[in-house]
Amino acid sequence: MARLPFNPDRDPAQPSSSSRSRSSPDSRVIRGGAASGTNSRRASGGTSGGGKVLTVSQISHLIKDALAAGLPPKVRVVGEVSNFSERAHWFFSLKDEGGSLRCVCFASAARRVSFPVADGMEVVATGRIDYFDAQGSLQLYVDALEPVGQGALEARYKALCEELRRAGYFDNERKKRLPSMPYRVAVVTSRSGAALQDVINTAGRRWSGCELLLVDVRVQGAAAAPEIAAAIDALSRQGKSLGIDAVILTRGGGSIEDLWAFNERVVADAIFRCALPIVAAIGHETDQTIAELVADVRCSTPTQAAMTLIPDRRTLQQQVTQLADRMTRMLRNRAESSRQRLAALARHAMFRRPERMVDPHREKFARLRERLVSSLPGRVKADADKLAALSRQLQAVGPLNVLQRGYSLTLGPDGKVLRSAGQVSPGVRITSVLADGRVSSEVVDGGEVPPPRTQRKSKSQPRRAADETTLFGDSSAPA
């Protein structure tokens, strides 16, 4: 709404130029001459010659008044986006080969734009043109933006597809499996649509035991998307208590505008969070709505959706018959195989003449026992002879046997064997151990060790017994 400029020279009795302009039947025509003449008269303020000086605010008000009088409240401007800046609000320019227009799109309006805006994109901006006093410039205050070159709906479709794809709405990993034998299926569609009749006919033809629950919603128009989303949410909440196993979301074919309710974000969100598996069949084969992309299974027609979800009774009967025949053959074969195996076991020698299995082992045991008994005396005699030989060897090297051959041991006062004459001195009492007793004596002379003397080994000297060397060590002379 344009504000009336403050004009101290305006005659209250005369109608203002703004009121005249608004009363004009064609508000789109800017009456530059009339407005200029009127304003020039106001600017002169009735003064002649000298020209009245106006303030900037007065000029701004005059410009706003002229814009309000010369432009319609809403304009649609086509141009290329330039210098796009996205902050809390959008600031950009629309330009063509002949000029440029500054634009601002406030955040409340920007949130309604459903496609990404970037430099170079050709758009149609709808809004009002007003004069921005602070910068002294004209601006287009944008209320809506539409892309040019491709349909606005197509652009919204692609933008939402990309957004949902990034959010994982189309991932196969999150999609639920369909029940193999649903007993109750909810059909979300219009009561008056042909799609419902297709589903009913197909379900009745395939399996009449499957119950259909109709959820009547509008499938076209502005109110369709909220109704569809609310129906899916209600089924998700109450599906378990109602015994619903799956949902069919369907409608017949139409243009993209007719099917647009199934491309709305609210429907995609409802399908995404639904706890029940959903089969979607929207439009024809060539149509592919966002609802179908988010659904767990997509079918080209309502009939195919019913065929996909509801099993065929005749096919099930054939499968049951085939499985029964297969199980009968398997059991018969198994029984015949077991019977043949049992008969083979019964014919085995172990069961017919078990003594023939034991006799060979019994004979082997008798032979081994006979060999053990016959070899035992010889083994005992050999061990006894070996023990006697070892005893003789032990007696031959014993010290008592050496003493009996005339040798003796000499013990010092401390009871240790004397191995050198230097270990005693005159007056020390020593003990000589003989084969049959001991003799104590006192050393009268001795205690000195003579220097070593090289002796020629006599050939006639008798060889000492090995036991002497072992027993007395390096004793060159007997004690």
pLDDT of 399 higher than 80: no
Mean pLDDT of the 102-126 span: 86
Which range, of 190-199, 259-268, 282-291, 295-304, averages the lowest pLDDT?
282-291
Between 472 and 54, the more confident residue is 54
Q: Does the pLDDT of residue 38 top 80, yes or no?
A: no
Burial of 69 (0-12, 13-18, 19+ CB in 10 A): buried
Q: What is the pLDDT of residues 328-363, one digit of tens each?
A: 999 999 999 999 999 998 888 888 888 888 888 888
* pLDDT for res 478: 43
Say if residue 283's pLDDT is above 90: no
Q: What is the mean pLDDT of residues 23-45?
A: 37
What is the average pLDDT score of the chain? 81
Q: Which two tokens stand for residue 308?
A: 């996909």
> Which of the two residues, 397 and 417, has the higher pLDDT score?
417
Mean local confidence (pLDDT), 296-308: 92
Residue pointed to by tokens 């019964």: 346
Look at residue 236 and tell me whether its pLDDT is greater than 80: yes
Tens of pLDDT, residue by residue over 422-454, are 888 888 899 999 888 899 999 887 766 666 666
Supply the pLDDT for residue 30. 31
Q: Which residue has the higher pLDDT, 51 or 472?
A: 51
| Low-confidence winner among 129-133, 221-225, 285-289, 455-459 (lowest mean pLDDT) | 455-459
pLDDT at 288: 85
Is the pLDDT confidence value at 468 over 70?
Answer: no
> Where is pLDDT greater, at 73 or 39?
73
Does pTM surpass 0.75? no
The confidence score (pLDDT) of residue 25 equals: 35
The answer to whether the Cα torsion of 414, 418, 423, 425 is positive or negative is: positive
Kindly tell me if the per-residue pLDDT of 59 is higher than 80: yes
Residue 21 clears pLDDT 60, i.e. is over it: no
Give residue-wise pLDDT tens across range 178-206. Answer: 998 899 999 999 999 889 999 999 999 99
What's residue 46's pLDDT? 43
